[in-house]
């Protein structure tokens, strides 16, 4: 009996659709850092493209070890327009270079850019005792005469906000309890009227 050979041809049909091209991820552009009295202003743009899941402001005084000083959890970026973002770092290092980077999650981390921040030249309030020891009851501030609006804030070395101090003001002196602070170096920012002052505080317990 003769063997019949059956040839089967398979035709593949590929449906090619005209899909839209992938959106380009944002790029951090026009990153600027500048001094605002004792603070540092940070401004940058996010170009059009894919959205991001928030961004972080990274800070360093040695250009190597960066810490987060701002964590903005929001949907950012737009396919229709360039977005402009602003941030103020309230506790930069004084008399030194301050380095900043932007972490645009999950798209990219910018290159570092630096600015030098000088100590204020005008004589302002000072804090005492400094260092602050465990046996002391409160931290004191010497103030200019005839001030009404005084506020004080404590930050860690990286500029992260810790808390606002509850000040008791009497004439040209103010005081606050800080016994909840542990050992270490802190930054104290004092707002007197429209002026801002900053000082380092050492706590020893």
Within a domain: residue 131?
yes
For residues 108-128, give the mean pLDDT. 76
Q: Are residues 161 and 198 in the same domain?
A: yes
Q: Are residues 73 and 97 in the same domain?
A: yes
Q: Say how many domains are in the chain.
A: 2
Predicted confidence (pLDDT) at residue 28 exceeds the cutoff of 80: yes
Within a domain: residue 20?
no
From 117, 135, 153, the end of a domain falls on 117
Determine the Cα–Cα distance for residues 191 and 135; give it in Å rounded to an integer: 27
Q: Are residues 113 and 32 in the same domain?
A: yes
Within a domain: residue 21?
no
Predicted confidence (pLDDT) at residue 11 exceeds the cutoff of 50: no
**Token couple for 117:** 């921040």
Determine the Cα–Cα distance for residues 58 and 203; give it in Å rounded to an integer: 25
**Token couple for 9:** 């041809």
For residues 124-132, give the mean pLDDT. 77
Reported confidence tier of residue 18, pLDDT bands at 50, 70, 90? very low
Q: Are residues 130 and 192 in the same domain?
A: yes
Within a domain: residue 19?
no
Give the domain CATH number at 113: 2.60.40.10
**Token couple for 12:** 């593949």
1, 180, 186, 196 from 163: Cα distances, Å: 97, 11, 11, 17
Q: Are residues 81 and 47 in the same domain?
A: yes
Predicted confidence (pLDDT) at residue 5 exceeds the cutoff of 70: no
From 72, 91, 117, the end of a domain falls on 117
Compute the radius of gyration of the chain from its Cα atoms.
28
Within a domain: residue 4?
no
**pTM for the full model?**
0.52
Please answer whether residues 92 and 80 qualify as being in contact, where contact means their C-beta atoms are separated by less than 8 angstroms: no
For residues 149-170, give the mean pLDDT. 88
Reported confidence tier of residue 203, pLDDT bands at 50, 70, 90? confident
- What mean pLDDT is reported for the chain? 80
Per-residue pLDDT reduced to its tens digit, 70-93: 999 888 888 889 999 999 998 898
Q: C-alpha dihedral over 123, 129, 131, 137, to 10 degrees?
A: -140
Determine the Cα–Cα distance for residues 29 and 127; give it in Å rounded to an integer: 41
Q: Are residues 42 and 110 in the same domain?
A: yes
Please answer whether residues 186 and 157 qualify as being in contact, where contact means their C-beta atoms are separated by less than 8 angstroms: yes
- Average the pLDDT over each of 5-14, 30-39, 112-121, 165-174 and give the range with the smallest value: 5-14
Q: Using alpha carbons only, what angle is made at residue 80 by residues 106 and 48, rounded to the nearest 5 degrees? A: 40
Q: Are residues 107 and 142 in the same domain?
A: no
Its domain, for residue 184, covers: 126-204
CB atoms within 10 A of CB 92: 25
Within a domain: residue 78?
yes
Within a domain: residue 23?
no
From 68, 94, 117, the end of a domain falls on 117
């Amino acid at each position: 009996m003769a063997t019949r050979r059956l040839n089967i041809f398979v035709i593949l049909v590929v449906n090619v659709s005209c899909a839209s091209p992938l959106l380009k991820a944002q790029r951090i552009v026009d990153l600027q850092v500048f001094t605002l009295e004792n603070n540092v202003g940070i401004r940058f743009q996010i170009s059009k493209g894919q959205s991001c899941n928030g961004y972080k402001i990274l800070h360093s005084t040695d250009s190597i070890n960066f810490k987060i000083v701002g964590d903005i959890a929001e949907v950012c970026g737009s396919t229709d327009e360039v977005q402009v973002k602003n941030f103020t770092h309230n506790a930069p290092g004084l008399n030194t270079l301050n380095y900043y980077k932007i972490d645009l999650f999950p798209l990219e981390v910018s290159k570092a850019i630096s600015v030098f921040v000088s100590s204020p030249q005008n004589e302002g309030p000072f804090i005492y005792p400094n260092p602050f020891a465990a046996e002391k009851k409160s931290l004191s501030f010497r103030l200019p005469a005839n001030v009404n609006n005084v506020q004080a804030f404590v930050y860690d070395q990286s500029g992260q906000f810790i808390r606002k101090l509850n000040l008791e003001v009497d004439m040209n002196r103010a005081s606050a309890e800080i016994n909840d602070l542990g050992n270490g170096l802190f930054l104290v920012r004092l707002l007197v009227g429209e002026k801002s002052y900053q000082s380092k505080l050492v706590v020893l317990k």
